Amino acid sequence: MPSLWITNARVIDPASKRDAVGDVFIRDGKFAASLSAADKKRAKKIDGKGLVACPGLVDIHVHFREPGQTHKETIATGSRAAAAGGFTTVVCMPNTSPPADNAGTIQFIQDAVERDAVVKVLPTGCITVGMKGQALAPIGSLKRAGVVAITDDGDCVQSNELMRRAIEYAKMFDLPVMDHCQDASMTQGAVMNEGVMSTRLGLRGWPNAAEDLIVARNVVLSEYTGGHIHCQHISSKFSIDIIRRAKSRGARITAEATPHHIALTDDALATYDTHFKMNPPLRTEDDRLAIIEGLRDGTLDCIGTDHAPHTDYEKDKEFDYAPNGILGLETALPVCLDVLVRRSKFKLPHLIDLMTRRAANILKLPAGTLAPGAAADLCLFDPAEKWKYDAKAGFSKSSNSPWTGQTMTGRVKVTIVDGRVVFQNGKIL
Amino acid sequence: MPWTRRHLLTIEQLSREEIEQIHATAAAFKRILGRSVKKVPALRGKTIVNLFLEPSTRTRMAFDMAAKRLSADVIAVEGSSSSTTKGETLRDTAQNIQALQADMIVIRHAAAGSPLYLSRILDIPVINAGDGAHEHPTQGLLDTFTMLEHLGSLQGRKVVILGDILFSRVARSNIHALTKLGANVTLVGPATLVPHWFTGMGVNVSYDLRSALADAEVVMLLRIQHERQTSSHFPSLGEYTSMFGLNKTRAGWLHPKAIIMHPGPINRGVEIDSELADGDRSVILEQVTNGIAVRMAVLYLCSGGQPETVAAGSGQ
């Protein structure tokens, strides 16, 4: 493997607080402080002028649909979409078909990753058997098979007793429990945020209270058991307040926000476009601004895309009948650059931190740093390049994105995984 | 101002002038319906498909009647007999109907927004005959048409809509039509079925029946839709009747000349006393009759007809 020498980039490494124009060196798949003269001569040079070099992005919330729903996405296509979006580590959710609730399915996923993935794809396992919320999955075996967390993402565990036991049990293995916070009894048939818009459109509302209740439940159980709960894709202002207070007491609660919840509101649903249908739903401008503030003050720990591919024909339905979810990996960086850096005045290193080191820290992943000796996972992007996004031309197998046709600012140029260039100038290598 | 719309999807998107154009056209058709020969040749040679994917009696019959009075051929497709039960998508069903060279689709569907969805797929006009809890525009048009016949104008007049508003497309279409026509609208019913969010649509929300009914010139009752309620929104029909049912005493709180309306089907003894439903202040059956003229107007205008040509061009 040739050494790599990235020259004259704006190097941003939140872990070391580095933010300066300079070079990045990679040797034997790891970052290096420098290269010997001989190495420099042989190294492959990448001109970083005008570009930002940062740790490879980390997304702890994606759906790659394998096994069982490979018409939507596969580990091969999903990992290529990740690489194109600058992501070098992604954590995939276990709501596959069958659900990843046993070591065999995890091994199947690991084999597919080994064979097909171009970035690091880490599996999670289910909290409960079949994600049915009735009995604990074999969490110890899942841990041994290599899961980095457990979650019933999409089907929040409703029983407080079962959730308590799951947290206690998982704590023994130092496994975080990731939770999609939704009280099912309050959201029967719900397809969008409950409010003025749902009332106007005649669609069944998903009240933010249904998220707030479970976030509060998780805070209580985390503090009671001492276990770590990660609240996924927070969408409600009230939930952020609950998390902020819990963190001030030192609770082991972490939380993420999606690019779509910081960019869009339920006003986007006026035309019943199913590309704006997701769970949790888009909420109000008040909620959107609160999520941004939550990211600013650290109440929310990271960006997670909830990349959720569905085919055109599945999304092309009456709003009530279309599945939840949108693509996220190939648009996350430009959307966050626009919403957080340009419009909300976050410093660029702060955004990079939210998309790298802090995301990795939640699951204690060895990623999100440019430190010498660390795995050479890197993202090189042009923060100013304007380009028109077309989901159909992207690397995901599906194209369910609300951003198709829009002009994006900021484009990933090179993605490097373990010192190997996997994506460069629009192509997977 | 010429009529330019091809679809009728919502009242929300109509201007006041467009509502008045439909009303004027409906009035002309109503005069024709009073003649001994009720049929006009306006849509001769056109085929209208009534795609009713949710049960309906009154609306389906009224659309059927209206199309036949305009000399159109009518094909009825109902949910139970259609391919949707075999797994066909709405897109495919609709494209097949268009490929069979229908000239217009009238759709009733349980999913809100589906008429808009069809209108983006098809080249032929789409008429919304009720989509979920969203809108039922021809009902809102016929209700306001009926009110105008009795009140002359709706400007500043107090109209009360009483009952299950949350799940009601009739309520939403009436809210849009009434506010555009200048009426002062109050919604009343159990708090669980009349969420405060409705104030965002420019109406008053009340849970006090007496003050809500006081001096109202129109009260519109809505049926309690058991079939749409996934959880308990009120304790029992008996309690509903005792708290919100319209009876003789409560009708006495209304303006002396107030009219009582109901889009049907009526649950006698639940939301309205049987006696009141049949009483002389009730215009419930007039609503049904006006429903034909209003739907004739809508079918006619969305097929390319113009308001002023009804009497001249489509008469005998």
Closest CA to B240 of B205, B192, B206: B192
CA distance B213 to A202: 26
CA distance A149 to A94: 10
Torsion of CA B63, B64, B67, B70, to 10 degrees: -120
Torsion of CA A74, A79, A81, A83, to 10 degrees: -170
Q: By CA distance, what is A320's nearest residue in B?
A: B111
Per CB-CB distance under 8 Å, the chain A contacts of B110 are: 320
| Interface probe with A: pick from B10, B89, B174, B179, most Cβ of A within 10 Å | B89
Confidence band of B316 (pLDDT split at 50, 70, 90): very low
Closest approach of B171 to chain A, Cα-based (Å): 11
DSSP 8-state symbol, A282: P
Confidence band of A425 (pLDDT split at 50, 70, 90): very high
Interface residue ranges in chain B relative to chain A, Cβ cutoff 8 Å: 12, 89-91, 109-114, 116-117, 131-135, 169, 172, 195, 197-198, 200-201, 230-231
CA distance A230 to A254: 5
Does A365 contact B at CB distance below 8 Å?
Answer: no
- The verdict on residue A368 lying in a domain is no
What is the topology classification, in CATH, of domain B16-135+291-314?
Rossmann fold (3.40.50)
Q: Is the pLDDT of residue A146 over 50?
A: yes
Q: Map tokens 């999670």 to a residue.
A: A124
What average pLDDT does the segment B190-212 reach? Answer: 96
Per CB-CB distance under 8 Å, the chain B contacts of A188 are: 230-231
Q: By CA distance, what is B131's nearest residue in A?
A: A202
Domain end call among A307, A333, A362: A362
Which tokens hold the place of A130? 């079949």
Residue A218 and residue A255 in one domain: yes
Q: Is the pLDDT of residue B242 over 60?
A: yes
Residue A152 and residue A36 in one domain: no
- Angle between the N-to-C axes of helices B169-180 and B137-151, in degrees from 0 to 180, rounded to the nearest 10: 50
Which tokens hold the place of A341? 């850096």
Pairwise CB contact (< 8 Å): B200 & A316: no
Q: By CA distance, what is A269's nearest residue in B?
A: B113
- pLDDT at B260 (0 to 100): 98
Q: What is the CA radius of gyration of chain B?
A: 19
| CATH class, range B137-287 | alpha beta
- pLDDT at B315 (0 to 100): 45
Residues of chain B with CATH 3.40.50.1370: 16-135+291-314, 137-287
| Interface probe with A: pick from B7, B134, B175, most Cβ of A within 10 Å | B134
- pLDDT at B312 (0 to 100): 53
Closest CA to A27 of A422, A419, A424: A419
Residues 259-288 of A with CB under 8 A from B: 271-272
Residue A34 and residue A68 in one domain: no
Per CB-CB distance under 8 Å, the chain A contacts of B89 are: 313, 316-317
Confidence band of A48 (pLDDT split at 50, 70, 90): very high
Per CB-CB distance under 8 Å, the chain B contacts of A198 are: 197
CA distance A235 to A194: 13
What average pLDDT does the segment A401-422 reach? Answer: 98
pLDDT digits (tens, 9 = 90+) for A29-44: 999 999 999 999 999 9
What average pLDDT does the segment B249-268 reach? Answer: 96
CATH number where A348 lies: 3.20.20.140
What average pLDDT does the segment B99-128 reach? Answer: 96
Which tokens hold the place of A271? 């035309």
Q: Is the pLDDT of residue B313 over 70?
A: no
Percentage of residues in chain A with pLDDT exceeding 90? Answer: 100
Q: What is the CA radius of gyration of chain A?
A: 21
Does A200 contact B at CB distance below 8 Å?
Answer: yes
DSSP 8-state symbol, A281: P
- The verdict on residue A207 lying in a domain is yes
CA distance B75 to B90: 17
Per CB-CB distance under 8 Å, the chain B contacts of A199 are: 195, 197-198, 200-201
Nearest CB to A272; choose among B90, B116, B195: B116
Q: Map tokens 């002038």 to a residue.
A: B17
Task: State whether the Cα torsion B91-B97-B98-B102 is positive or negative.
Answer: negative
CA distance A163 to A157: 6
Domain end call among A362, A385, A400: A362
**Strand B204-206 to strand B184-188: parallel, antiparallel, or no bridges (unpaired)?**
parallel
What average pLDDT does the segment B157-176 reach? Answer: 97
Residue A156 and residue A247 in one domain: yes
Q: Is the pLDDT of residue A128 over 60?
A: yes
Which residue range is the domain that position A25 belongs to? 4-52+375-428
Q: What is the largest CA-CA distance in chain B?
A: 56
Nearest CB to A201; choose among B89, B109, B112: B112
**Strand A378-388 to strand A52-55: parallel, antiparallel, or no bridges (unpaired)?**
antiparallel
**Strand B73-78 to strand B47-52: parallel, antiparallel, or no bridges (unpaired)?**
parallel
pLDDT digits (tens, 9 = 90+) for B29-58: 999 999 999 899 999 999 999 999 998 889
- pLDDT at B82 (0 to 100): 60
- The verdict on residue A228 lying in a domain is yes
What average pLDDT does the segment B163-186 reach? Answer: 97
Per CB-CB distance under 8 Å, the chain A contacts of B131 are: 202
Per CB-CB distance under 8 Å, the chain B contacts of A268 are: none
- The verdict on residue A367 lying in a domain is no
Residue A416 and residue A290 in one domain: no
pLDDT digits (tens, 9 = 90+) for A164-181: 999 999 999 999 999 999
CA distance B25 to B307: 5
3-state secondary structure A40-104: HHHCEEEECCCCEEEECEEEEEECCCCCCCCCCCCHHHHHHHHHHCCEEEEEECCCCCCCCCCHH
- The verdict on residue A184 lying in a domain is yes
Per CB-CB distance under 8 Å, the chain B contacts of A195 are: 197
Residue A11 and residue A110 in one domain: no
Nearby residues of B63 by Cβ (< 8 Å), 6 or more positions away: B48, B50, B106, B127, B129, B138, B295, B299
- For residue B162, what is the enclosing H or E element? strand B158-162
CA distance B284 to B271: 14
- Cβ contacts below 8 Å, chain A against chain B, sum to 64
Confidence band of A126 (pLDDT split at 50, 70, 90): very high
Closest approach of B301 to chain A, Cα-based (Å): 24
CA distance A337 to B94: 42
Nearby residues of A74 by Cβ (< 8 Å), 6 or more positions away: A64, A65, A66, A112, A116, A397
Task: Tell me phi and psi for residue A20, to 5 degrees.
Answer: -155, 155
Nearest CB to A201; choose among B117, B134, B198: B134
Pairwise CB contact (< 8 Å): A195 & B133: no
Confidence band of B78 (pLDDT split at 50, 70, 90): confident
CA distance B173 to B130: 10
User: Which residues of A participate in catalysis according to the annotation?
Assistant: 306
Pairwise CB contact (< 8 Å): A202 & B134: yes
The overall average pLDDT reported for chain B is 93
What average pLDDT does the segment B282-308 reach? Answer: 95
Confidence band of A406 (pLDDT split at 50, 70, 90): very high
Q: Is the pLDDT of residue A252 over 70?
A: yes
Residue A111's CB is within 10 A of a number of other CB atoms, namely: 11
What average pLDDT does the segment A187-205 reach? Answer: 97
Nearest CB to B111; choose among A185, A195, A319: A319
Residue A347 and residue A201 in one domain: yes
Pairwise CB contact (< 8 Å): B89 & A316: yes
DSSP 8-state symbol, A406: P
Residue A136 and residue A17 in one domain: no
pLDDT digits (tens, 9 = 90+) for B11-26: 999 999 999 999 999 9
Residue A73 and residue A179 in one domain: yes
Q: Is the pLDDT of residue A206 over 90?
A: yes
- pLDDT at B311 (0 to 100): 61
DSSP 8-state symbol, B132: T
Percentage of residues in chain A with pLDDT exceeding 70? Answer: 100
- pLDDT at B80 (0 to 100): 63
Residue A131's CB is within 10 A of a number of other CB atoms, namely: 23
CB B266 within 8 A of CB B277: yes
Residue A172 and residue A189 in one domain: yes
- pLDDT at B249 (0 to 100): 97
Domain end call among A362, A393, A420: A362
Nearest CB to A188; choose among B111, B132, B231: B231
CA distance B228 to B234: 13
pLDDT digits (tens, 9 = 90+) for A83-97: 999 999 999 999 999
pLDDT digits (tens, 9 = 90+) for A328-372: 999 999 999 999 999 999 999 999 999 999 999 999 999 999 999
What average pLDDT does the segment A417-424 reach? Answer: 98
Nearby residues of A10 by Cβ (< 8 Å), 6 or more positions away: A19, A20, A21, A48, A51, A52, A53
Pairwise CB contact (< 8 Å): A202 & B230: no
pLDDT digits (tens, 9 = 90+) for A380-401: 999 999 999 999 999 999 999 9
Q: Is the pLDDT of residue B314 over 60?
A: no
A270: left (phi over 0), alpha (psi -120 to 50) or beta: alpha
- pLDDT at B234 (0 to 100): 82
Residue A373: burial class (beta carbons within 10 Å; 0-12, 13-18, 19+): exposed
Q: Map tokens 């809890």 to a residue.
A: B133
Nearest CB to A203; choose among B90, B112, B116: B112
Looking at the 3D structure of chain A, how many domains does it have?
A: 2
Q: By CA distance, what is A194's nearest residue in B?
A: B197
Residue A241 and residue A92 in one domain: yes
Q: Is the pLDDT of residue B248 over 50?
A: yes
- The verdict on residue A320 lying in a domain is yes
Pairwise CB contact (< 8 Å): B117 & A318: yes
Closest approach of A196 to chain B, Cα-based (Å): 5
Q: Report the b/e string of A98-110 with b at 16+ CB within 10 A.
A: ebbbbbebbebbb
Q: Map tokens 């064979």 to a residue.
A: A115
B257: left (phi over 0), alpha (psi -120 to 50) or beta: alpha
Residue A197 and residue A318 in one domain: yes
- pLDDT at A241 (0 to 100): 98
pLDDT digits (tens, 9 = 90+) for A50-107: 999 999 999 999 999 999 999 999 999 999 999 999 999 999 999 999 999 999 999 9
The overall average pLDDT reported for chain A is 98
Nearby residues of B184 by Cβ (< 8 Å), 6 or more positions away: B156, B157, B158, B159, B204
